[in-house]
Structure 1
Amino acid sequence: MDDLPKCTVCQQQFTLKGPAPYLLPCLHTVCETCVTSAAGGVISCSTCQREVNLTDTALQKDAVRQKEIFHLTVKHRPTELLCTHEDDGNEAVCWCQDCEEFLCENCQNMHNNFKVTRSHVVQNFADLKLNVSTVPKFCSIHKYDPLYLFDQSCKKIICARCRIEDHADHEVEKVDVAAVTVTKQLEYHKNELTTLQTHQQSYMQRIRQGTEATDKTHVSLKDNITHVFRSLRSQLDQRQKDLLIDLENHTKETKASQHALLVACEEDMKTCTRVLDYINHVLLFASKSDILGLERYAGEMTRTCLDTAVTQTYVAPTAVFNTNSLSNLKAHVSGFGAILTVDMDGKSDVIADRGTQTDDDFMADVEMKHKMDMQELKTKIDSDEKHIQRLTDLTDKLNSQTETLKLRIDEKEAIEKRDATTIDFLLGVAWECDVYMLKPGAADRSFMLKCKPLKYDKDRVNLDYVHINTDGDLVNRKSDTRPAGEGRLKRYWGTCSIVPFLQDGCPQYWEVENRFSLDKPLSGKWLILQVGVCREEERDVYHCIGERPHSYSMSVAHCTEHGGICRVIWKEGECVLHLPDTIPNTAGLSHTLHYGVVYDDARKKIVFIDVKGEKVILTLDNVDSSEPLWPMFGVYNLDNTVSMRLVVGSDISMPEEKKAMILEALS
């Protein structure tokens, strides 16, 4: 069991029933205990010393490690596994892949006899193989709907109902198709890392060969120096010692530099091997749904390996012994000799002293330098040719990928252009939201009422005054759970929708259900709630949008003129309707208000409807729809309790009477 993975922080081995493993961005694994007990919300990987801020990064369970632990436990400690069926405590002997349960012999016999489970894949521990489960998982929201779609925008797996309700505008494809694409990307990462690993091994081999060559050069030069100085008189002894010391120092420096290069390359290779090993584990153990969440980390670490890899070109430095001016050495013995280094370009700092050399000495030096220059030049040419070939291959690969991407873009644009010019586009609207025909038999988008699933923009809620509770309602209470972040509304007491209305010529409808309780009678001009639309630049200029240009809204507020709670409709900053005493201003009473709003960019109209009263409050004409309008939702008055719930999509009741009322208001 020494092969079981360990937590990178506490170094404790993972067990099948122990704390769950979580995956860090560096592809190391940490246990659930260390994650939950991380000091200051920061966890540090003891292997690579990379710190992860858990506030900014949501860790996911390492499904690959979990399955690896499962198979290692079955292989090495099968006697520790107990039957999970009915908690009978018997020793398990097999595993049901469909039920994901351990079974003892008795349960296995019953399992095989039941008609429902007779076809399940049951494997004995001795025959257990690495199989990826093909049993569909079910949605946590819609319990009986299988998860088989992947949302490219949200990066999550969803069911068919999620696709229609919350992910209508997102790019979605089947899990199998998405998994194939990501698997190909992981295979690409694997090939890149394998190639890098091969180059690193070759590079390290060249460094080792250079070290051996340096040792040979050391021996050769030492013998040469000794031979030369033996022919000199006693006056050369001191100089001989000095040069030998220089040689030793030069050799140590050269080998130290080579050792540093070798260590750096070994570290890079360890990282490369670790990432490559993890990708192999992913491809071996991970299911298609697991692969989708792992590619981002694997791709990041692959790019890190490729970007930080040291230069793969290496030429071992060669030292030479300068014997220029040998014929006049006795006259210049105090300054004779030097240990020189041949640099990476094949050049050396050989000092030619032609005036003190014999012809034989000079020609020997020239011949030696010529041979060294030719050898270094050949090495450099070979290295450049390999580099050019590698760049050529990379260019061909990028051109191929660019061409493929261009073809996909052209194909997508052609499909979108074709759909936009056919009646299928109109029918396709019903797929992304609930659609009602206001006029039967009219194949015209201006008579198609879209009930699009609007959503509160949780990232823009003004948390200084309001927040969204656990039921998804907008309530008039300051948030106590988290501070306001960047991009939130600062002045408006509420929030907007995630996206503005599309300008597609279809009337669009949504409703809000409001509840408020009067703990005490209202006084002053206190707003209670507001619903409407406005342009993007007007969303956060004031605490409400009623008195702003390019806005259209209905407000419920206490009115000092009438002494009660009134409804007021605003258009472009002007009050166009004031309905007095809509609601009694009496302490202790609770009220429910249900309003609907229709926005028609083609007819340039906005209709406000009293859903409970089943009547149109007012229709605003000549609405400026030249720019997109954003739905806005506000709740006010901190002394009382006010909440607003969005009623959208299939939750909207649309009887024929209501459709007729909306069509008449738009006519």
Structure 2
Amino acid sequence: MDTFPKCSVCQQQFTLKGPVPYLLPCLHAVCETCVTSVAGGVISCSTCQRKVNLTDTRLPTDVVRQKEISHLTVKHHPTVLVCTNEDDRNQAVCWCQECEEFLCEYCQNMHSRLKLTRKHVLQNFSDMEPTVSNIPAFCSIHKHHPLYLFDKSCKKLICTKCRFDDHTNHEVVELDVVADTVIKQLVHHKNELSNVQSRQQSHIQSIRQGTESTNRTHNSLKETIGHTFQSLRSQLDQREKELLIDLKSQTKETKATLYAQLTTCEEDWKTCTGLLDYIAKVLLYSSKSDIVDLERYVGDIPRTYMYLETPAPQTHVVPTAVFNTNSLSKLISNISVFGAILPREVDEESVKEKDTQTDDDLMEDLERKHKMDLTELKTKIASNEKHIESLKSLPDKLNAEIKCWKSRIKEKKTTENRASKTMDVLLGVARECGIQLLKSEVVDRSMVVKCIHLKYDKDRVNLDSVHINTEGDLVNRESDTRPAGEGRLKRYHGTCSTAPHPRAGCPQYWEVLNRVSLDKPLKGGDLILEVGVCREEQRDVSHHIGRQSSSCCMQVAHCPTHDGICRQTWKEGKYVLCLPDTLPNTAGASHTLHCGVVYDDIRKKIVFTDVKENKVMSTLDNVDSSQPLWPMFGVYNPHLLTVSMTLVVGSDICMTEEKKAMIVKALS
């Protein structure tokens, strides 16, 4: 019985002979008992919490679920079905679709013998599958006339006589036409909801990864705290316990937030599943007349999934907290406040210990103090012979004090080295996740670059022009094989990434390595390659994105102005910059072009760099990042040249100090 649909108010399962199901505007079902017994004329769907005023809304019978219940009863509980042809209470064994009746064995034999019904198709319960009935419904006014017309003015099905009696001047179309229109709407909504559900699944996975990252950070910091306090265990046991409790509390808050987001996404996913399930049942069980009756609810489906279109949650692969060892040199006097668990936004420089006095200055002060004390002692010895013995002991005390200070200085250096190693470990973890500090002395989101993990979208490659070879490179040759699949690019000579640029709140970086070999000289603006970004709806408007609005790209092409091969920059369909002498325009010429792309959604900038020359080619300001931007990769003109494009991403990027300085200069 778990497979039978339930009332969304009382949660009772529908049965074949139980209360009739009615269809709510949210496409959930409510039983006849709940409809007739509702108080105040307002019924609330417990599945989606949507309220319906029954005084303003007439609920239609849910014919789809009625047929589903009938089919499930045949499949799981056939023994409760009796013959509806004769009132003899015999066990039914088959179903006549034309007569819409259950038949016992005797009536089945009679049905097959009668001339009027011998051609009817009888379905045995063991072989019965869901089918859509093509038998037309008959007019309630003109009993023997089928309803095969739809009056758009009256929004109802009519027969031929109705057409000439009361609907003469109305706009009327055939049932098949309007049913096909509604079916197309349902299929479109089904596809849209499937996409929303896929994105929600991706959001859920991102949140779970965030939870795992939080756990890893927790474990890493726990180990760091343990190492730091091991050397000071006798004095710092109590403080260590307090810090671990603080860390646990902050971790609990982070996980609670992620769990709340996960719960929301899972609820949205369930809503999509419910809608998709009902649409599938409509397409499985409903006749065209049933589908037309559902037209008013089909229009509400977009509003249902529009509110599900939430932006992808921000995820962070950097550690979510750092262990603060500020003022470590003053630990003896400040033991009660040493250490703290700080949020990830904290300036990393503040985590390091800062002391203005150097070790040499301290030693000079001690020596100066020692000399002054010795002078004072000599003066006192000369003036007071009685205290000579006691005064002679003071140098020994001062030497002991100097020894004590040296020991403290050594301890301070040891602690600083340990803190430096801890920071190196944390930065090493960040680099493994693709995070690089642009300035070592500044740790904030604006001075962190993320080497993102882009991938070519193999399912969208325009196989008529290009393909991805066994090494994973994009090459300007059409594919020998054409695997099936919808959604491939038709016009653009290349592909896009599998996902748009994330809204990371910090600069993002990736590179492409292009190997070019000319078979013939180029002319007339012939394209070699293109790298850039554009909005989702612009990915397949043309064979390149250079002249599209809301796009930014760098092209390598023949330039009529310089009569050579240049690197050209375009922004929002307008020509910005041209750098000549990229490679010789002669047959047999070959060259390697290594380009970097920086995208900063906070500063609204895109930077194109020459990795080989360590210089900025072009910087585009005021980039419209109000909508997600998709990285695009294009290669062209196989009859003139050969080009292969390799993506260099994530940990494969060699982030040198010269490259960091170049990025900082371009973004400043």
TM-score calculated relative to the size of structure 2? 0.54
Q: Structure 1, residues 276-303: CA drift from partner, whole Å, max 9, x if none?
A: 1111111111112222233543552453
Map 1:584-595 → 2, pairs under 5 A = none
In structure 2, the CA distance between the partners of 1:232 and 1:86, relative to structure 1 (3 Å rule), is closer
Partner of 1:378: 450
In structure 2, the CA distance between the partners of 1:371 and 1:152, relative to structure 1 (3 Å rule), is farther
Cα distance in 1 for residues equivalent to 2:349 and 2:139: 74
The unaligned stretches of length 5 or more in structure 2 are 357-411, 436-447, 455-498, 505-531, 543-668
Q: CA deviation at 1:128?
A: 1.6
Partner of 2:162: 162
Q: Work out the percentage of aligned pairs sharing the same amino acid.
A: 58
Is the CA contact 2:9–2:44 (under 8 Å) kept in the aligned structure 1? yes
Cα distance in 2 for residues equivalent to 1:171 and 1:390: 48
Cα distance in 2 for residues equivalent to 1:180 and 1:391: 35
DSSP 3-state at the match of 1:190: helix
| Counterpart residue type for residue 193 of structure 1 | L
Partner of 2:338: 336
Map 1:324-473 → 2, pairs under 5 A = 324-330=326-332, 332-342=334-344, 350-351=350-351, 354-355=354-355, 365=423, 368=426, 372=430, 375=435, 377-378=449-450, 384-385=500-501, 392-394=535-537
Map 1:255-294 → 2, pairs under 5 A = 255-294=255-294
| Counterpart residue type for residue 53 of structure 2 | N
Partner of 2:195: 195
Partner of 1:319: 321
Cα distance in 1 for residues equivalent to 2:112 and 2:430: 79
Cα distance in 2 for residues equivalent to 1:244 and 1:226: 10
Map 1:130-279 → 2, pairs under 5 A = 130-232=130-232, 234-279=234-279
Q: CA deviation at 1:229?
A: 1.7
Is the CA contact 1:27–1:298 (under 8 Å) kept in the aligned structure 2? no
Q: Which has the larger displacement, 14-23 or 294-303?
A: 294-303
DSSP 3-state at the match of 2:300: helix
In structure 2, the CA distance between the partners of 1:365 and 1:102, relative to structure 1 (3 Å rule), is closer
TM-score calculated relative to the size of structure 1? 0.54
The unaligned stretches of length 5 or more in structure 1 are 400-667
Cα distance in 2 for residues equivalent to 1:148 and 1:349: 78
Q: CA deviation at 1:44?
A: 2.3
Is the CA contact 1:275–1:302 (under 8 Å) kept in the aligned structure 2? no
Q: CA deviation at 1:10?
A: 2.9
| Counterpart residue type for residue 378 of structure 1 | K
DSSP 3-state at the match of 1:321: strand
In structure 2, the CA distance between the partners of 1:163 and 1:232, relative to structure 1 (3 Å rule), is same
Q: CA deviation at 1:102?
A: 1.6
Cα distance in 1 for residues equivalent to 2:33 and 2:73: 20
Cα distance in 2 for residues equivalent to 1:122 and 1:236: 85
Cα distance in 2 for residues equivalent to 1:188 and 1:49: 26
Partner of 1:114: 114
Partner of 1:91: 91
In structure 2, the CA distance between the partners of 1:137 and 1:300, relative to structure 1 (3 Å rule), is same
Q: Structure 1, residues 528-566: CA drift from partner, whole Å, max 9, x if none?
A: xxxxxxxxxxxxxxxxxxxxxxxxxxxxxxxxxxxxxxx
Partner of 1:443: none
Q: CA deviation at 1:326?
A: 3.7
Q: CA deviation at 1:147?
A: 0.9
In structure 2, the CA distance between the partners of 1:387 and 1:222, relative to structure 1 (3 Å rule), is closer
| Counterpart residue type for residue 52 of structure 1 | V
Cα distance in 2 for residues equivalent to 1:112 and 1:397: 59
DSSP 3-state at the match of 1:95: strand
Cα distance in 1 for residues equivalent to 2:44 and 2:329: 67
Q: Structure 1, residues 211-234: CA drift from partner, whole Å, max 9, x if none?
A: 222222212211211211222374
Is the CA contact 1:340–1:350 (under 8 Å) kept in the aligned structure 2? no
| Aligned residue pairs, count | 397
Cα distance in 2 for residues equivalent to 1:354 and 1:128: 81
Cα distance in 1 for residues equivalent to 2:91 and 2:170: 48
In structure 2, the CA distance between the partners of 1:127 and 1:384, relative to structure 1 (3 Å rule), is closer
DSSP 3-state at the match of 2:501: helix
Q: CA deviation at 1:236?
A: 3.5
| Counterpart residue type for residue 263 of structure 1 | T
Partner of 1:23: 23
Is the CA contact 1:7–1:30 (under 8 Å) kept in the aligned structure 2? yes
DSSP 3-state at the match of 1:256: helix
Q: CA deviation at 1:354?
A: 4.3
Cα distance in 2 for residues equivalent to 1:158 and 1:348: 75
Q: Structure 1, residues 404-426: CA drift from partner, whole Å, max 9, x if none?
A: xxxxxxxxxxxxxxxxxxxxxxx
Q: Structure 1, residues 152-201: CA drift from partner, whole Å, max 9, x if none?
A: 34332222333344344444322212222211211121122222222222
Cα distance in 1 for residues equivalent to 2:292 and 2:327: 72
